[in-house]
Chain A
Amino acid sequence: MHIPDGFLSARVAAGSGVTAGLGVAFACARVRATGLGARRALLGVSAAFVFAAQLVNFPVAAGTSGHLIGAALVAALLGLPAAIVVMTAVLVVQCLVFGDGGVLALGANVLNMALVSCVVGYSVDRLACGKNPSPTRRVAAVAFAGWCATVAAAVSCAEELALSGVARFGVVLPAMVGVHALIGIGEAMISGLLVASVLRLRPELLARASANHSRNALGSGLGLALVAALLLAPFSSAAPDGLLRVAAGLGAQAHASSPSSAPLPDYTLPGLGTGALATVLVGACGALLIFGLCWLFARLVVPRRRGSATAESTPSPIAAE
């Protein structure tokens, strides 16, 4: 998802650069304010961990492989401000040392993969996890957060590309979100497996993380709502958005056609019409389905311990398998 140079218009590159700069500056100030600055080695070595973990390949199918992205995972393990700093550092090194992603597009890449994905990942994780979660819930929450963060970053990337005029929003959004909804499944599984393994090896690391940021759940919920509103703004308006208007003015069709035999044609539910409510409901159904899958996955990977303090409240461990 690293955008190379040449794709973004100067205006979009500048706008996303300024937004990313402000976001990262705020995160750095929060890190200092929360005293994490005194543990700067943890941030640096965690960034090195994300970098090294991204090199570990997981076989997918037909010779292809995927790797961890890590924004939601780091946000769950280290908290939001630290995660933003860590992911920004990873992106800067990928850009300035390895030439991965453009220099002018660095702001947009930081906005997508460090800010949007960390904020969404962290908020979803906090909301899905709650206080004193069972191990299954902990793993399911981080897996679901990983999927949401990947898709959110793809949405933000599609918006930037569409605003730059390299592709129509109605084409680039479904393409980016479709591909990243699949990539997100891999991200969810790797994040879940990793947290399950940390829970087994050093559960106190996760307990410490939970104790650190449980107070911010309300704030993160608000942050999530804000990001979701920003990302979904072009959908929620019944009138065509600026880009679609421009496209219509140029004689283009306002929407890509979709096969009428699809289960949810044009992202609508039969009988609910095509309003913003229907779009939101379809999105919510999809997200619930993914959360259900994450929960089943967590039941599979978390070993069961009968009679322990962290025992599950849900019945029969074998049922889900």
Chain B
Amino acid sequence: MGGSRLAVPRARWSAARKLGLTLVSILAVSALPARHAPWGLLLLAVLIGAARVAGLTLRSWLKRWLVALPFLLSVSLLGLFQPHGGALFLAVLVKSTVSLLAVQLLLHTTPASDLLRTLRRAHVPEILCSTILLLQRYWVLLADEAARMRRARAGRTLRSGRLELWRAQGNALGLLFVRTVARAERVQAAMRARGAP
């Protein structure tokens, strides 16, 4: 299995091993009882060390953490409405922060294609694997197409209210779906031409 471009020992491990290690560390930190959650910070220290070796910047990790923050805070705050809520709140914060760094480290050191190959080896059904593969290949194209349609609409419309904007966006997505089906037919024909069933 191909390693990553990074010349560090951890990055040269196989994707399966890295995925397994990530899962084990997340499982370990999740299984900690709330009152022992501060022990998770030990793992955090190890992960921060590994992240430094692997060249994962603090900035990219913080960015990811900020994206997850609304869910993180809203649900952990709900946890305050029960006995020992404060300890639970801190425990959830520690656990999710450690897990987030573990996943970031995995994604930073492992190309997505390697992870998907691991899924295929783990006997994930073929149809799901091919759907994931095609999704990865085509989403950029479709997102570009959606952006082009948005630009074209903005060029045609001088000013529009919120309702008109919703209607226009809905129409654009409908058109995008119609084009998606047409594209799928072309892709299928091309696949058949290359010998796919």
Contact = CB atoms under 8 A, between A and B. Distances in A.
Nearest to B77: A167
A154 interface: no
A86 B130 CA distance: 11
Interface residues of B, number: 81
B57 interface: no
Contacts, number: 256
Interface in B150-193: 150, 162, 165-167, 169-178, 180-181, 183-185, 187-188, 191
Contact of B75 (A53, A86, A172): A172
Interface of A: 1-10, 13, 24-25, 28-29, 31-32, 37-49, 51-53, 55-56, 58-59, 68, 77, 85-86, 88-90, 92-93, 96-97, 99-100, 102-104, 161, 165-168, 171-172, 175, 189-190, 192-198, 200-202, 205, 247, 250-252, 256, 301
B interface, by DSSP: helix, strand, loop or mixed? helix
28 contacts: A4-B72, A6-B94, A29-B125, A44-B184, A45-B187, A47-B131, A47-B135, A55-B146, A56-B172, A59-B166, A93-B132, A97-B115, A102-B26, A104-B27, A166-B75, A168-B81, A172-B75, A172-B78, A175-B78, A189-B170, A193-B170, A193-B173, A193-B174, A197-B171, A197-B173, A197-B175, A205-B181, A250-B82
A100 B70 CA distance: 13
Given A4-B72, A43-B131, A251 B95 contact: no
Interface string B74-100: 111011011100001000101111111
B167 A51 contact: no
Given A8-B30, A9-B30, A10-B27, A48 B138 contact: yes
